[in-house]
Structure 1
């Protein structure tokens, strides 16, 4: 019975290690937990932009990878860009903001 217990413990440890390594992140790929965290950050940034009446939120795209938020799309003015970046930076969990937004007509 003791031998079976050792094999069972070893098998459980092996499965745990494989699961942990399989869900870990790399510089190019997020782990499961990071993906969920980034989804929450993206939602919070989109909500902050949507709730700002001066911004047209449908024209601003938000993507997040490992806490870095990327904003893209077209807005009416430089002030809109500055406001969107400010709102994104104010969201908890955001480590930095990349601005790829453009002013319409430029």
Structure 2
């Protein structure tokens, strides 16, 4: 291989590594926000056990799905990325309807 091809491949790999994100920080931030929201609005405490966090459209949306112990219905909190202040909670699930998540994190205990 020529020297230019090797340099190009090296730069491309560095670029891809720099752009890569596992969204762990964003998922933790949104979970913490939803935890506070659930305590204030629903008067329940949630934790990562029996909840699912999913990232959609490469971080544009993050959803948290959880089911309170006494309830039959799941609660879904959907957050949309706001470039100025992190993520804002949406009023509905329209941002994720019909989309598959790119990352899903779930801790389920039966």
TM-score scaled by length of structure 2? 0.43
Q: When you count helix as a share of all residues, which structure comes out higher? A: 1
Q: When you count strand as a share of all residues, which structure comes out higher? A: 2
TM-score scaled by length of structure 1? 0.44
Structure showing greater radius of gyration is: 1
